Amino acid sequence: MKITDVKTILANRYLFVKIYTDEGLVGLGESGTWGFLDASKGAIDAFKTYLIGQDPLRIEHHWQYMYRCWHFKGSAIMGAISAIDIALWDIAGKYYGTPIYNLIGGKCRDKVRVYGHVGGSTTEEVIANLKQAKSQGYNAIGHLSPFLDESRDVPYYTTHAKEIGEAVERVAAYRDAVGNDVDLLIELHTRLKPADAIAFAKGIEHSYPYFIEDPVGPDNLDSMELVAAKTFVPIATGERLISPQEFAMLIKKNAVQYIRPDVCMCGGITGTKKIAAIAEANDVLVVPHNPLSPVSTAACLQIAVSIPNFAILEYPGDDQPALSEKYGSTNVEKGVRKKDVVTTTFKCEQGFMEIPRLPGIGTELVDDIETKFPYVRRPIKTRLHIDGSVVDQ
């Protein structure tokens, strides 16, 4: 069997890849470089020159060849490798007539625990949404901002005491709203510096959050290590890391208790399996980052089913639009739900998601997706401070 073509598909807010073979099997993957999909498309087009004529079942060899070819990395390149790798595994599953998880060790579990997304522009709105998610059966709720979902168009300013004090009080209100029957996953989006993150983490310890995610920026691992050492609240991070080596260094510093590899960013299923093995050897749990399309969800489920140290899977909901729409967009994709772009999604009940049963990743794109849902580039929109400087949010 040989690869005959590699096609990139930009649709709505997503970048997909299809890999074609001379035996009629077609593999599907997705790139996670959602802010810079055009750059990732260029990287896929470059890798295409190597892939044409290759045996698609030599997945590890192709991963190594692309990963080590010119020594350059970066998220656009790794998003490309990830999309290609997922598509190659999809071909392998279809070739052998089985879901991918049966090719990478088999099932460790029969269903996958998930956490839903909840937001709001006021404390009252978040609490109402929390209660609604609990009534829908979720036993874990995440993407919870203690600073609310404020518009990036509004210049930012507050005092330290007000910022941290209100955030701590808000998390306590979240806990009071749902009790201890729901795990709370707190999202900070690299918003704080180490001293502020430590103050916040210590302030919410009595609320027993499942974890706090990305309390500080991911570029300085020493800063994450410092925060982790000063609180018993677990730290989750890793959605912006792109290689097994980066995760290994993070884990070696005891700077994380839950790693967040993005299957569409850190090297696909092959890369994520490597990262999960490093984590398992160090008693660290895996929470796959999953903000993209149902293609990403399908790939994440293959990992979640087959690794022993899986904890929980991010699930924003297939009835929702692309997450990047919340940061401002045109009207082109309004009304486009995630489930509209694929043929199959996976049922979620009482906080757990069913696992794929079909060969490969278990889903396909709808026909003529590029015409039905034209591509819309994510706008560049960074929040500014009242003094004109850049704010992390």
377 located within any domain: no
Average pLDDT over residues 350-369: 97
How far is residue 318's CA from residue 348's CA, in Å, rounded to a whole number? 10
Same domain, residue pair 83 and 108: no
Average pLDDT over residues 163-180: 97
How far is residue 120's CA from residue 87's CA, in Å, rounded to a whole number? 36
* Catalytic entry in 117, 143, 289, 385: 289
Distance of CA 227 to the CA centre of its chain: 22
Averaged pLDDT of the chain:
94
Q: Determine if residue 242 is left, alpha or beta; phi over 0 gives left, psi from -120 to 50 gives alpha, anything else beta.
A: alpha
pLDDT band at 326 (very low <50, low <70, confident <90, very high): low
**pLDDT of 184:** 98
Distances (CA, A) of 67 to 72, 85, 224: 8, 11, 27
How far is residue 295's CA from residue 268's CA, in Å, rounded to a whole number? 12
**pLDDT of 71:** 82
Average pLDDT over residues 220-244: 96
Residue type (1 letter), 152: R
Domain end among 49, 65, 98: 98
Residue 78: is its pLDDT beyond 50? yes
Same domain, residue pair 239 and 200: yes
**pLDDT of 34:** 86
How far is residue 58's CA from residue 84's CA, in Å, rounded to a whole number? 12
Residue 73: is its pLDDT beyond 90? no
Distances (CA, A) of 65 to 50, 87, 137: 9, 16, 44
Residue 151: is its pLDDT beyond 90? no
pLDDT band at 227 (very low <50, low <70, confident <90, very high): very high
380 located within any domain: no
Stated length of the chain: 393
* Catalytic entry in 62, 117, 189, 206: 189
Q: What is the 3-state secondary structure (H, E, C) of 15-65?
A: EEEEEEECCCCEEEEECCCCCCHHHHHHHHHHHHHHHCCCCCCCHHHHHHH
Same domain, residue pair 83 and 112: no
Average pLDDT over residues 195-206: 97
pLDDT band at 331 (very low <50, low <70, confident <90, very high): very low
Residue pLDDT, tens place only, 135-150: 999 999 999 999 988 8
376 located within any domain: no
387 located within any domain: no
Q: What is the 3-state secondary structure (H, E, C) of 162-175?
A: HHHHHHHHHHHHHH
Average pLDDT over residues 322-326: 62
Helix (H) or strand (E) holding 360: none
Same domain, residue pair 32 and 107: no
Q: In CATH, what number is assigned to the domain containing residue 232?
A: 3.20.20.120
Same domain, residue pair 86 and 156: no
How far is residue 113's CA from residue 300's CA, in Å, rounded to a whole number? 12
Strand-pair category, 14-21 with 26-30: antiparallel
Residue pLDDT, tens place only, 49-71: 999 999 999 999 999 999 999 88
Same domain, residue pair 57 and 83: yes
Q: State yes or no: is 289 an active-site residue.
A: yes
Please state whether the predicted TM-score (pTM) of the whole model is above 0.85: yes
Share of the chain above pLDDT 70, in %: 97
Q: In CATH, what number is assigned to the domain containing residue 69?
A: 3.30.390.10
Same domain, residue pair 72 and 139: no
Share of the chain above pLDDT 90, in %: 89
Same domain, residue pair 164 and 271: yes
Q: State yes or no: is 71 an active-site residue.
A: no
The tokens describing 370, both together, are 């590029």
Residue pLDDT, tens place only, 259-290: 999 999 999 999 999 999 999 999 999 999 99
pLDDT band at 17 (very low <50, low <70, confident <90, very high): very high
Same domain, residue pair 319 and 347: yes
pLDDT band at 381 (very low <50, low <70, confident <90, very high): confident
SS3 133: helix
Could you give the number of structural domains in the chain? 2
> At how many degrees (to 10) do helices 37-51 and 59-68 cross?
120
pLDDT band at 323 (very low <50, low <70, confident <90, very high): low
* Residue 387: CB atoms within 10 Å: 9
* Residue 108: CB atoms within 10 Å: 13
368 located within any domain: no
- Residue 59 lies in domain: 3-98
Residue 328: is its pLDDT beyond 60? no
Residue type (1 letter), 337: R
Average pLDDT over residues 325-344: 69
339 located within any domain: yes
Same domain, residue pair 83 and 144: no
391 located within any domain: no
